[in-house]
């Protein structure tokens, strides 16, 4: 079985999957930037995984019934007074555990070993020399490169543990207590730089945890349709359609599940890219035969954020206005009981700390930032929310979209934020700035497509800064806006790197923007990765 849709109107990040008859790997997050990447790697083996707080108790894990547990890395040292720790009863559950970096050191410390700062940290690529090739390291190449990132090391192992592998710097690079099915690695098998990392992951998931590969696209679609029909019954569903892969996939899924009880509404809030609203409505109505109600509300949204510069305030106001427009349209077209949203798993993770309530067993959301799908919802929300995609990563949504028959034009569409260009204009949003950014963004899209780079980039877009700089055009002094080009590569948006686009293409885009877009006299290129930056500027 595949995870069910859950309502975020209950203000938590989803319910435990305790009673679902499918294998699951639980990942306890100790603050690693790679925790979500571990989850993705597990899912690549067609086994479901979820990221939980390190505060999750052994009793709560027993209730979840995972087939295996992974302890993530983290920035702390296990011997620090306030370092995050896990429930010591976790080791007695009889469930296989894999500790990764900090997770391995925590395992060593809690079970009676010793971890110290040896003064010989190890970072980046390092050959792994295998001492015991069985079990966890089956099919992992001896001398293969693994990605290291640690300043502390295990200097004494707990009773019953043995060394599986070492490096030139670290004597305990992989350890095991096979009888108790407890394993640890001092490297990151989940990152792409680790050769044989996926072989190790598969060994843990399949051979040690005994999971079966049941997390598939076809199974998800079938289960999601059943869940939607069971939840919605004979009620009607309202969907906010944006034209992106998330909402489009959701539209196809819901249309298959409830048919004409689905009503799609496209709210033209005035923050879309040039020519997109018209194309979207025509595509769905004429090619996909899914009726779309078009609502022109540009003036209303501009008025809602007039004079607002704070990005969090902008997001909340736009989100609030969306809901209010939906409510007004539902009264006109309804009644509707459900509002569907294309919330994804990274949205949930970035918007909430996945902590579990000890009384209810539910993961409660502690907000750390508002996301455009899960943040800014008013307390007097008039709809029940339905979010069938909330347990999927972006690449999984693309696979679901293909299986439902979406064309590649939509499946491969780059992510576009819910607040649209309003958060790609830093500071106050004005009609003049919107028009400038639309024109610059169109040039970016034209050239990225023309040079065959669109599908190679996770996102490629323009940002307008609310400052002016001096320039010279036609022997005259100018005082105009700068445009920032933001092109990144990524697997899922959780981490990203700036794209090494050829200079001649960047030069062509910059020249076109400066020459063709009035009000711009300077173009710069953002070379910041995520982390420390984010992909969007707001």
Which residues are tagged catalytic?
101, 188, 190
* H or E stretch at 339: strand 338-340
- The distance from CA 474 to its chain's CA centroid, rounded to whole angstroms, is 46
Q: Is 466 in contact with 506 (CB distance < 8 Å)?
A: no
Distance CA 502, CA 448 (A): 11
For residue 526, CA distances in Å to 458, 461, 471, 493 come to 15, 11, 20, 16
* Maximum pairwise Cα distance, the chain: 80
Going by C-alpha positions, the residue among 120, 117, 33 that lies closest to residue 78 is 117
**Residue 476 — φ and ψ, nearest 5°?**
-120, 150
Structure tokens at 309: 């510069």
Residue 25 sits at φ, ψ, to 5 deg, of -110, 125
What is the phi-psi region of residue 31: left when phi exceeds 0, alpha when psi lies from -120 to 50, beta otherwise?
left
- What is the edge-to-edge ordering of all strands in the sheet holding 262-268? 292-296, 262-268, 237-240, 338-340, 384-386
In this structure, which long-range contacts are made by residues 515-518, counting pairs with CB atoms below 8 Å and at least 24 apart in sequence? 516/439, 516/443, 517/436, 517/439, 517/440, 517/443, 517/483, 518/436
> 3-state DSSP call for residue 350?
helix
SS3 518: coil
Report helix angle 431-450 to 503-516, nearest 10: 140
Answer positive or negative: Cα dihedral of 122, 123, 127, 132: positive
Q: What is the DSSP letter of 203?
A: I
Inter-residue contact 244 to 341 (CB < 8 Å): no
| CA–CA gap between residue 96 and residue 178 (Å, rounded) | 9
Q: How many CB atoms lie within 10 A of CB 296?
A: 12
DSSP 361: -
Ramachandran category for residue 474: left, alpha or beta (phi over 0 → left; psi -120 to 50 → alpha):
left
What is residue 392's DSSP assignment?
A: -
Chain position carrying tokens 């948006």: 493
User: How does strand 476-489 pair with strand 469-473?
Assistant: antiparallel
Bridge partner list, 27: 51, 70
What are the backbone dihedrals phi and psi of residue 437, each rounded to the nearest 5 degrees, phi first? -65, -40
Find, among 509, 517, 520, the residue nearest to 486 by Cα. Answer: 509
């Amino acid at each position: 079985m595949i995870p069910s849709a859950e309502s975020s109107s209950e203000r938590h990040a989803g319910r435990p999957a305790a009673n679902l008859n499918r294998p699951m790997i639980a990942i306890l997050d100790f603050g690693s930037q790679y925790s979500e990447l571990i989850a993705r790697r597990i899912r690549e083996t067609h086994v479901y995984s979820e990221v939980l707080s390190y505060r999750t108790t052994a009793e709560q894990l027993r209730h979840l019934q995972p087939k295996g547990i992974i302890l993530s890395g983290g920035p702390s040292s296990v011997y620090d007074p306030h370092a995050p720790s896990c429930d010591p009863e976790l080791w007695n559950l009889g469930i296989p555990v894999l500790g990764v970096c900090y997770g391995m050191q925590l395992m060593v410390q809690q079970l009676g070993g010793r971890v110290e700062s040896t003064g010989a940290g190890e970072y980046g690529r390092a050959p792994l020399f295998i001492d015991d090739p069985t079990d966890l390291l089956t099919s992992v190449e001896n001398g293969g490169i693994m990605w290291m990132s640690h300043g502390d090391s295990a200097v004494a192992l707990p009773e019953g543990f043995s060394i599986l592998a070492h490096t030139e710097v670290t004597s305990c690079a992989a350890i095991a207590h096979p009888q108790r099915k407890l394993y640890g690695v001092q490297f990151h098998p989940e990152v792409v730089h680790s050769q044989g990392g996926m072989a190790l992951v598969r060994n843990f998931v399949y051979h040690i945890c005994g999971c079966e590969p049941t997390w598939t696209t076809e199974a998800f679609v079938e289960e999601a349709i059943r869940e939607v029909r069971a939840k919605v019954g004979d009620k009607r569903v309202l969907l906010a359609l944006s034209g992106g892969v998330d909402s489009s996939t959701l539209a196809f899924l819901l249309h298959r599940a409830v048919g004409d009880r689905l009503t799609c509404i496209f709210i033209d809030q005035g923050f879309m890219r040039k020519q997109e609203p018209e194309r979207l409505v025509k595509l769905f109505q004429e090619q996909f035969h899914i009726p779309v109600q078009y609502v022109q509300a540009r003036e209303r949204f501009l008025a809602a954020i007039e004079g607002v510069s704070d990005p969090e305030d902008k997001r909340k106001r736009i989100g609030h206005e969306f809901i209010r427009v939906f409510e007004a349209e539902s009264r006109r077209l309804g009644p509707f009981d459900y509002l569907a949203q294309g919330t994804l798993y990274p949205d949930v993770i970035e918007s909430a700390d996945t902590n579990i309530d000890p009384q209810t067993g539910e993961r409660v959301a502690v907000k750390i930032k508002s996301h455009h799908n899960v943040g800014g919802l008013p307390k007097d929300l008039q709809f029940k929310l339905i979010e069938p995609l909330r347990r999927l990563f972006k690449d999984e949504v693309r696979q679901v979209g293909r299986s439902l028959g979406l064309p590649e034009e939509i499946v491969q569409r780059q992510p576009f934020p819910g607040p649209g260009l309003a958060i790609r204009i830093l500071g106050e949003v004005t009609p003049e700035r919107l028009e400038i950014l639309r024109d610059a963004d169109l040039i970016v899209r034209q050239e990225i497509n023309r040079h065959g780079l669109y599908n190679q980039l996770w996102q490629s877009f323009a940002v307008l800064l609310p400052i002016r700089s001096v320039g010279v055009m036609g022997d005259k002094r100018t005082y105009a806006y700068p445009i920032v080009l933001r092109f990144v590569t990524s697997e899922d948006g959780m981490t990203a790197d700036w794209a090494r686009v050829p200079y001649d293409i960047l030069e062509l885009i910059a020249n076109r923007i400066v020459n063709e877009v009035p009000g711009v006299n300077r173009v710069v290129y953002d070379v910041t990765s995520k982390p420390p930056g984010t992909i969007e500027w707001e």
